[in-house]
A and B are shown apart, each in its own frame.
Chain A
Amino acid sequence: MTAVHVDTVAAASGDPDREQPWAELGLRADEYARIREILGRRPTSSELAMYSVMWSEHCSYKSSKVHLRQFGEKTTDQMREQLLVGIGENAGVVDIGEGWAVTFKIESHNHPSYVEPYQGAATGVGGIVRDIMSMGARPLAVMDPLRFGALDHPDTARVLPGVVAGIGGYGNCLGLPNIGGEVVFDSCYQGNPLVNALCVGALRAEDIHLAKASGTGNKVVLFGARTGGDGIGGVSVLASETFEDAGPSKRPSVQVGDPFAEKVLIECSLELYAAGVVDGIQDLGGAGLSCATSELASNGDGGMRVQLDRVPLRDSSLTPEEILMSESQERMMAIVRPEHLEGFLAITDRWEVEATVLGEVTDGDHLQVYWHDDLVVDVPPRSVAHDGPVYERPLARPGYLDELQAHNTRVLPRPVGGPGLREDLLALLGSPDGCDLSWVTQQYDRYVRGNTARAMPDDAGVVRVDEETGRGVALATDCNGRFAKLDPYAGAQLALAEAYRNVATTGARPLAVSDCLNFGSPEDPGVMWQFAQAVTGLADGCQQLGVPVTGGNVSFYNQTGDTAIHPTPVVAVLGVVDDVADTNGSGWSLPGQSLYLLGRTREELDGSAWAHVVHAHLGGRPPRVDLAAEERLAGTLLAASRAGLVHSAHDLSAGGLAVALAEGVLRHDIGATVSLAGLRERDGVDDFAALFSESTARVLVAVPPEHAEAFEELCAAEGQEVLALGTTGSEGPESLVVEGAFQVSAAELRTAHSGVIEAALAS
């Protein structure tokens, strides 16, 4: 074994002026000074490593904290009623009734997925699943909102297949159904693809576990995979300082996943929880042991002493700093009472999971880390985990925005007559964002565990939680980055509204929100303004809809040079369903059903899929946000679904009514015959706007004819705008017939819709 020069607390006191590589580790001069002030001496190299990762943007939320506070401040007491655990823990927990609690969270793994698409995406899934596990829950399903550069860009052919294979390779092997998400292509994501991952899990409300180290003498146990040199970023600076030639070099800074180890870890952890031998639990994700030890200790009421040389290693040459920083996957840390230790180890043995007692909870107030006999870390844990720097970054409304908003779609030539409308519909269906995504989704197992009631391409994923009663949850994730670029406040609310609506179409009652806020550099005042606007918009919107934000993630620095991605606040909404077997699909499976459009159509084409696909245009103002209308719509859908009046329901979003109708036809190859006359007359729009406008708070509902009257009465009672459009099915071959305008067969729709991604990747 290599002799390692270890920088100790004693050495730090005796050698106060030693030069330290704080800048290389990403710390600012004032941050380094603050560390010295907290400790009353220079940090050891291990302490410096810990602070540098824990005070990074990713772990400390130092640029976003001042804005994210709004999520808590705007959560009313009424919204809090069904919140069992709110923001700040590994994931929020929501009460869904009958003694069940559900936990869900969405997170980003953007940068690693660009560097190494397969492993980056795979470990993104692994990380979010461990967050859910560490709440004490059994993970139920995953979802993946993905954004790539232009489909025809050569690098997309590298990133897209790798990301999809990585998500599939990890999730399929882990045994979690993938029930939805998004796939978006836009050149703004060219050097910055967004790979977001959501996991949802369930537990009995009384079984919630928290990341907290309490009880003097309780054992600190590390279990799961061994620690290796993967996922060490800036710490290599320290490593190269302490020794020159020895040791492994060029370690990947992207972690490598082992889904089998994670599957075993899930089953093992659930057995540990069930046996009642776990007092506190934390997963090891970003910042590895630095994060787990400091957060557990910080959340507890005492200190912690850890013997770092006991950590089982894959690579015996790792230094203490590297062990503290390593982001090796599939590891967990538990706080275990001494009397439970034997039972704990019996269970980990049964699953052949390595478990090591690293140390114990102390009655002090410091986190102390030893390397053999040397004290290498001696810090107040709160200063590492929770009291990091907080910045009020300058923000400024971007100068380009006035011009962008003025440059609206009124100048664009519109399709002429039925043939023109038909042509534009086919163009939208065959566009990268509008096409059939089965090339992606068929690489994911949607059936495993047997509880999936709805998955892609339905509007929301639906999974059963309780096998006896059928109670379960519906989940959707959404964001239209174009809208957010035009107006980030409205864009965030539109993302919320769409996800909320998608959940409501299934017949679920929306309950809670998690968000993944993907933005450019916080050091750019324009980006920071977008961020502040989006957070405020989302917090205001959640307050109005009565759905609390339970947690989430911020991803900054998604930009290349000076060019940031569109602001992309991806919003996940979770709803509860009494019986998942009764939920509505997005397409009709029978002819002769009455088709209704709920909601009002305005001429709103700015930022639309039509402007993007047909004219490569982005400008103007996004559609009007009307959250009161969204709430009314959700109420109507819930009431109608409970009354058994709904055959299918499909949200209107990108591509408007035209795309919703076409997707409804394609779902089960049953046509539709509709008239736009009523819409023209009531809403004062022409056929083009009726078909392609993206006004919000609208849903296309198919109703069994025998329930049509009851459905109309229910809408009237709810104050819901409703318009009969026509019926499902068509004369002759199954077709979409828009009376007086055009007709297109299901076969032709499918030809336009299918094989788009395959063809682009093959070229």
Chain B
Amino acid sequence: MRIGVVTFPGSLDDGDAQRAVRLAGGEPVPLWHADSGDTLLHGLDGVILPGGFSYGDYLRCGAIARFSPVMGAIIPAAQAGLPVLGICNGFQVLCESHLLPGALVRNDHQQFLCRDQLLRIERTDTAWTSDFTPGQEVLIALKNGEGGYVADEATLDELEAEGRVVARYLEVNPNGSRRDIAGVSNARGNVVGLMPHPEHCVEAGFGPSLDGLPFFTSVLRQAVLA
């Protein structure tokens, strides 16, 4: 099972995402931001857009990455059903790419925040969450400056109605996200954006838990079934 992990200039958690894929039993395949072409994603069972500050994010987060050559290949593949997980900056890139609705804005308290965050997994029929049980509570590392999920009320209602809220913050809303939303998916469930960092929760002794691992085993299992 091969999962591509994109490195943009300024990606920071690309190595961690590769490690998480490896520990979940898959083979990580590095993808370079400047690469493109029809064959780039051949043989890949999924793609991860990792955390970081792509191209410095001096403009709106993810706004430049969305126009990178590699995204030129990923966007149509995602629309065609390739599993894609965007973590933190990757979530921002997915929103900028219009693969997911809404946007991520500066935390309401105006500070970068790193904490161990309790989440509830709300949807387990996506490519990236099928190994969780519905309603499962998990502890995942969270770290962001611009993690407030916003969308208009109609879109939020639609996400709720269609069961596309993948994960919600519990106990503390760390960034002012509307309706405590920590992650959403597209209608088909192959594209997931997540603000917390499951790739930091895959190894005993490093990170607050092992609760991140099912995100990565889910997509590998789905690839086996497919």
User: B residues within 8 A CB of A219?
Assistant: none
Within 8 A of A (CB), among B202-220: 202-207
Our pick among A168, A260, A449 for the contact of B10 (Cβ within 8 Å) is: A260
**B112-A450 in contact (CB<8A):** no
**A450-B16 in contact (CB<8A):** yes
Our pick among A174, A441, A581 for the contact of B204 (Cβ within 8 Å) is: A581
**B114-A449 in contact (CB<8A):** no
Q: Kindly supply a per-residue 1/0 record for chain A positions 244-275, scoring 1 wherever the CB is within 8 Å of any chain B CB and 0 otherwise.
A: 00000000000000111101100000000000
Query: What's the least CB distance linking B69 to chain A, in Å?
Result: 13
Most chain-B CB neighbours within 10 Å: which of A258, A441, A446? A446
**A448-B13 in contact (CB<8A):** yes
Interface: A453 (CB within 8 A): yes
Query: What's the least CB distance linking B67 to chain A, in Å?
Result: 15
Query: What's the least CB distance linking B215 to chain A, in Å?
Result: 15
Q: Kindly supply a per-residue 1/0 record for chain A positions 23-51, scoring 1 wherever the CB is within 8 Å of any chain B CB and 0 otherwise.
A: 00000000000000000000000000000
- Interchain CA distance A453-B9 in the complex, whole Å: 26
- Interchain CA distance A486-B207 in the complex, whole Å: 41
**A447-B143 in contact (CB<8A):** yes
User: A residues within 8 A CB of B206?
Assistant: 450-453, 464, 581
Chain B: residues with Cβ within 8 Å of the partner, total of 31
Our pick among B10, B114, B199, B202 for the contact of A445 (Cβ within 8 Å) is: B114
Interface: B83 (CB within 8 A): no
Query: What's the least CB distance linking B61 to chain A, in Å?
Result: 11
Query: What's the least CB distance linking B78 to chain A, in Å?
Result: 26
Interface: B15 (CB within 8 A): yes
A-B pairs, top 9 by smallest CB distance, nearest first, are A260-B56, A175-B12, A581-B205, A450-B16, A447-B200, A445-B143, A173-B53, A447-B141, A168-B112
**B15-A449 in contact (CB<8A):** yes
Interface: A483 (CB within 8 A): no
Q: Which residue of B lies closest to A582 (CB)?
A: B205
**A448-B16 in contact (CB<8A):** yes
- Interchain CA distance A86-B159 in the complex, whole Å: 60
Query: What's the least CB distance linking B175 to chain A, in Å?
Result: 12
User: B residues within 8 A CB of A375?
Assistant: none
- Interchain CA distance A580-B199 in the complex, whole Å: 19
User: B residues within 8 A CB of A446?
Assistant: 114
Q: What are 26 A-B contacts defined by CB distance under 8 Å?
A: A169-B112, A172-B145, A173-B10, A173-B53, A259-B56, A260-B9, A260-B10, A260-B56, A260-B57, A261-B56, A263-B53, A352-B9, A443-B113, A444-B112, A444-B114, A445-B112, A447-B141, A447-B197, A447-B207, A448-B12, A448-B16, A450-B202, A450-B203, A450-B207, A464-B206, A581-B206
- Interchain CA distance A464-B115 in the complex, whole Å: 21
- Interchain CA distance A263-B57 in the complex, whole Å: 13
Within 8 A of A (CB), among B104-119: 111-115
Chain A: residues with Cβ within 8 Å of the partner, total of 33
Q: Which residue of A lies closest to B203 (CB)?
A: A450
- Interchain CA distance A172-B141 in the complex, whole Å: 14
**A443-B15 in contact (CB<8A):** no
User: B residues within 8 A CB of A235?
Assistant: none
Query: What's the least CB distance linking B3 to chain A, in Å?
Result: 16
Query: What's the least CB distance linking B176 to chain A, in Å?
Result: 16
Interface: A351 (CB within 8 A): yes
**B114-A175 in contact (CB<8A):** no
Known A172-B143, A448-B16, A580-B205; contact A260-B55, beta-carbon cutoff 8 A: yes
**A165-B111 in contact (CB<8A):** yes
User: B residues within 8 A CB of A259?
Assistant: 53, 56
**A450-B199 in contact (CB<8A):** yes
**B114-A442 in contact (CB<8A):** yes
Query: What's the least CB distance linking B192 to chain A, in Å?
Result: 20
**A442-B115 in contact (CB<8A):** yes
User: B residues within 8 A CB of A174?
Assistant: 12
User: A residues within 8 A CB of B53?
Assistant: 173, 259-260, 263
- Interchain CA distance A169-B53 in the complex, whole Å: 11
- Interchain CA distance A172-B197 in the complex, whole Å: 14
- Interchain CA distance A260-B10 in the complex, whole Å: 6
Interface: B147 (CB within 8 A): no
Known contacts A172-B112, A450-B13, then 7 further A-B pairs from the complex at CB < 8 Å, ordered by chain A residue: A174-B12, A258-B56, A260-B9, A442-B113, A447-B200, A449-B15, A453-B206
User: B residues within 8 A CB of A263?
Assistant: 9-10, 12, 53
**A450-B15 in contact (CB<8A):** yes
User: A residues within 8 A CB of B207?
Assistant: 447, 450, 452
Q: Kindly supply a per-residue 1/0 record for chain A positions 416-442, scoring 1 wherever the CB is within 8 Å of any chain B CB and 0 otherwise.
A: 000000000000000000000000011
**A260-B58 in contact (CB<8A):** yes
- Interchain CA distance A136-B186 in the complex, whole Å: 44
Q: Which residue of A lies closest to B7 (CB)?
A: A267
Interface: B19 (CB within 8 A): yes
**A453-B205 in contact (CB<8A):** yes
- Interchain CA distance A352-B207 in the complex, whole Å: 33
Query: What's the least CB distance linking A622 to chain B, in Å?
Result: 35
Interface: B52 (CB within 8 A): yes
Q: Kindly supply a per-residue 1/0 record for chain A positions 463-475, scoring 1 wherever the CB is within 8 Å of any chain B CB and 0 otherwise.
A: 0100100000000
Q: Kindly supply a per-residue 1/0 record for chain A positions 566-590, scoring 1 wherever the CB is within 8 Å of any chain B CB and 0 otherwise.
A: 0000000000000011100000000
Q: Which residue of A lies closest to B202 (CB)?
A: A450
